[in-house]
Amino acid sequence: MLRFFWFSVLLFVKASDIWAASPEPCLQASNTCTEWVTLDEQGQRGLIYRTHPLTQRNETLEHAVIVIHGQGRNADGYFRHGLAGAFLADALKDTLLISPRFASNEGKDCRDTLDTNEVGWICLGSESWRNGGIQATPATKKLQSFDFMDALVLKLSDQALFPKLRTLVIVGHSAGGQLVNRYQMVNPLHEKITAERKIQISYVVANPSSYTYPGALRPTRAAVPSNIAAAAPGYLAPVSDAKEQKAFVPYSDASGCTSFNRWPYGLEQKVGYASGISDEVIKQQLAKRPATFLLGELDILPLYGFDSSCAAMAQGPTRLARGFAYTKFVNDTLQTNHPAVMVPACGHDARCMFSAEAALPHLFIK
């Protein structure tokens, strides 16, 4: 009996250790769930919302999802969107959710209040935060926005902190989708981490206004499936119009829209983080790294920061059309098989996209 008593005590102690090592996730889009990530030796830093600390060992987490906000830089709102999807996917118990803020007080439309040593990024243009551009503030301008992403990925790959982590999904919506599209093809960490830590990294690009094309051809209506109502304001084009067209042709207004194939719309004149990477390497990485394109069925209106520049319009009339055309171009020209997943009944709405049944398996991997 005494031996059984001490055995029971031992089991209780072991169970207590397991319970202590399984902290509850932080589920509030408030200061209690924020953390600063140091980005360089000068102490420059970026803010994140997260369900679990990135500074404490956690042996229960098997998955991580980094959610990138849109043009409004509302990381708190996107943290909520991610939480909603994680709850529906029953993923909160073993998934670390992170939402970084790419803050900016540069430009007339970007007036974020920056904390001490918080990096402020360029708001718009080819060197904006969504394209891997350089920092705008403070004065020491050595960082690029994708350095923030690198810091997060390296944190998550630290075996001393997250020994059981086996998947990482990087997802962005709208402007965040642009960031993920470009980070997927240019970051130097993917193969290293998948090889050394066996962490499966995948990228989910949701409803961006533009993509980075790995070639100079641009789509016609024939690049979009004939049963997809992708034309503004969402009507199907007559099938006969598309039958005689090639899916991709030289851009007809290339002389009038000289920026149509420049970074970030194409690979010409790359700037920022991507400038030191060859086109060939970018194409190889775009092809072989897992990417999924989530496209809202109703994202067919020029609203919510829709890019109507000539370079963006060269990619298609709506976000829905641009997504299907880009996926086809990449798959056809680079001989890969990235899926384009249409999300029913969703427009340009991150909450709808991240909590839809069609999206959950791509965001929260079992």
Domain ranges for the chain, please list them: 23-363
Q: Which residues contact 103 (CB under 8 A, 6 or more apart)?
A: 46, 47, 73, 112, 114, 118, 119, 120, 121
The 3-class secondary structure across the chain, one letter per residue, is CHHHHHHHHHHHHHHHHHHHCCCCCCCCCCHHHEEEEECCCCCCEEEEEECCCCCCCCCCCCEEEEEECCCCCCHHHHHHHHHHHHHHCCCCCCEEEEEECCCCCCCCCCCCCCCCCECEECCCCCCCHHHCCEEEECCCCCCEHHHHHHHHHHHHCCCCCCCCCCEEEEEEECHHHHHHHHHHHHCCCHHHHHHHCCCEEEEEEECCCCCCCCCCEEECHHHCCCCCCCECCCECCCHHHHHCCCCEEECCCCCCCCCCCECCCCCECCCHHHHHCCHHHHHHHHHHCCEEEEEECCCCCCCCCCCCCHHHHCCCCCHHHHHHHHHHHHHHHHCCCCCEEEECCCCCCHHHHHCCCCCHHHHCCC
Report the side by side order of strands in the sheet with 200-206. 34-38, 45-50, 95-100, 63-68, 167-173, 200-206, 291-296, 340-343
Question: Residue 109: what pLDDT?
Answer: 82
Q: Is the dihedral of CA 61, 66, 67, 73 positive or negative?
A: positive
Q: Which residues contact 11 (CB under 8 A, 6 or more apart)?
A: none
Question: Residue 44: what pLDDT?
Answer: 94
Closest to 102 (Cα-Cα) out of 70, 140, 63, 54: 70
Question: Residue 242: what pLDDT?
Answer: 53
**Residue 177 structure tokens:** 């989708």
| Measured distance CA(52)–CA(194) in Å, rounded | 22
Question: Residue 107: what pLDDT?
Answer: 73
Closest to 165 (Cα-Cα) out of 98, 81, 101: 98
Residue 39 CA, chain-centre distance (Å), reads 19
Q: Is the dihedral of CA 186, 187, 193, 196 positive or negative?
A: positive
Region 23-363: CATH code: 3.40.50.1820
Which mean pLDDT values do the consecutive 10-residue runs of the chain (366 residues) have?
47 44 87 97 95 98 98 97 98 98 89 95 95 88 94 98 98 98 98 97 98 97 92 73 80 96 98 95 98 98 96 97 98 98 98 98 96
What residue type is 294 in one-letter code?
L
Yes or no: say if 48 and 75 are a contact pair by the CB < 8 Å rule.
Answer: yes
Closest to 365 (Cα-Cα) out of 200, 184, 197: 200
